[in-house]
Amino acid sequence: MKKLSIKAKVTLWYTALVFLLIVVLLGDLFYFSSRVLYERAGESLSRVVEAAAGQVHFERGELDEREIGFYADGVSVFLYDDQGRRLAPRSGSGPKVNALLEDGVLKSSQDGGERWLVYDRYTQIDGVSLWIRGVTPDTGFSGPLGTMLLLALIASPFLLLIAAGGGYLITKRAFLPIEHMIGTVRSISGGNDLSRRIGGSGAKDEIARLGGTFDEMFDRLQTSFEDEKRFTSDASHELRTPAAIILSQCEYALEDEKSASELRESVRVILRQAKRMNSLIARLLLLARADNGRLQPEFEEVDLGELCAVVCEELEPSAKQEGLTLHQEIEGQVALTADQTLLMRLVTNLLSNAIRYNRPGGSVTLCLRTEGENALLSVRDTGIGIAPEHLPKIFGRFYRADAARTAERGGTGLGLSIVRSIAQVHGGSVEAQSTLGEGSDFTVTLPLRREENPGVCEPD
């Protein structure tokens, strides 16, 4: 049964159900038909016996048989005295039935290989006690009703075959969308075209919903696959650039007749690029751990207001160097349970982005306040802003709304992705609002009280 297709299983169950219905219907038909025939025969016997009772007369103690109808409507009538001796008809004709005499009881009796229905009536006529018995053949289903039942029995197998065939065809037609779905899924899984979709037939049934669910899954798979390809390409590019610089500087330093100052400059370039590679690898490792649920925060009581003030103080020189003003709007002490190192990186990334993509003479504002059970950290800038079509993608890895400007400013395209991962590992979230040419506003929501994060897994 397990090896059968769903179509075959549905057909078998459908056929079994039809067979069961036929058996039940025929059984009921036989039962109720036999009851009807039996009751009708009893009524006929009772009527003839009662009629015969009205025809019995005794003259001077002798039975007068001339007015008695001993056969009517297929019923033979017999008269017995109270001792069970036969009184009439005296000719001895008619069926020989030896059943016991029982008043008002309809019963079946067999004699000489034939079955008979018998009905007895005990009465007193003209002072004489006697039994009147009616006997008729027990024809059962030999009449028209029996013929109909026989035809029903003969037709049942054919009806069952028709039901099975019809059920299979209906099931096969109903499963045609499934076959189409299987073919499409196989072509997607076996090829490189992840843009194909099952599509809907316009119906709103379960199969259409299943197809829609598959399409949603393929959308996510395609997005993940494209993100992975872009991530691999971008990571390779980001690592290849400093590696190429280091290689060229090493080759340059190994050339003949280099002064000490030239060698020191080459070493400085190599060191700078090595630090860049190390920073990039560290960020990639942090994101990989976050993806695998292995980023293990060291939770402790943290004053987020003090932490933000420290980060602002550290980045104040960078802001002044860019001709920017750094403002703080911190609502007193904001204590929460968090990983201090990760939160410092989160705030640093947000402020660094705001400084990097700002305008000369602009400003960066850090706001911190509490709202209910959450802390709200907002970083606002007056920079170049982000176009609406880029806004949903800015938290993607290596994504740059302006790649040339990002490279010029030394960004890697991982900062906002790290911000989102750190917020999520703390049970929070990050949102971005921006107007092109006016600036951007990033808001991080963090719970004040720590809750168990199902996304964080213990290391093996």
Domain ranges for the chain: 7-145, 206-291, 300-447
Q: Compute the radius of gyration of the chain from its Cα atoms.
A: 50
pLDDT tens digits, 367-378? 999 999 999 999
Q: Which CATH number fits domain 206-291: 3.40.50.970, 1.10.287.130, 3.30.1360.20, 3.40.30.10?
A: 1.10.287.130
Report the C-alpha gap between 175 and 142 in whole angstroms: 47
Question: Stretch 139-143: mean pLDDT, rounded?
Answer: 64
Tokens of 35: 């009851």
**pLDDT value, residue 407:** 47
| Stated pTM of the model | 0.51
User: Higher pLDDT residue, 238 or 319?
Assistant: 319
| Percentage of the chain modeled with pLDDT above 70 | 85
Local confidence band at 451 (pLDDT 50, 70, 90 cut-offs): low
172-185 per-position pLDDT tens digit: 888 888 888 888 87
Domain spanning 300-447, CATH architecture = 2-Layer Sandwich (3.30)
Instruction: Indicate whether 406 pLDDT > 80.
Output: no
Average pLDDT in the 424-435 region?
92
pLDDT over 90, % of the chain: 18
Q: Is residue 330 predicted with pLDDT exceeding 50? A: yes
- pLDDT bin (cut points 50, 70, 90) of residue 142 is low
**Which has the higher per-residue pLDDT, 441 or 51?**
441
What fold, for 7-145?
Answer: Beta-Lactamase (3.30.450)
pLDDT confidence band for 38 (50 / 70 / 90):
confident
The pLDDT tens digits of the residues spanning 183-208 come to: 887 877 766 677 777 776 666 777 78
pLDDT of residue 328 exceeding 90, the answer is yes
Q: Quick one: average pLDDT of 376-392?
A: 90
Q: Which pLDDT value is given to residue 390?
A: 85
Tell me: pLDDT of 226 over 90. Answer: no
Compute the Cα dihedral for 70, 73, 75, 81 and give only its sign: negative
* 243 pLDDT above the threshold of 50: yes
The predicted structure's pLDDT at residue 140: 65
Confidence bin at 292 (pLDDT 50/70/90): low
Instruction: Give the pLDDT of residue 381.
Output: 94
pLDDT band at 405; cut points 50, 70, 90? very low
> What does the alpha-carbon distance between residue 423 and residue 91 come to, in Å, rounded to a whole number?
115
- Position with higher pLDDT, 19 vs 111: 19
Provide φ and ψ at 80, rounded to 5°.
-130, 150
For residues 400 and 365, the model is more confident at 365
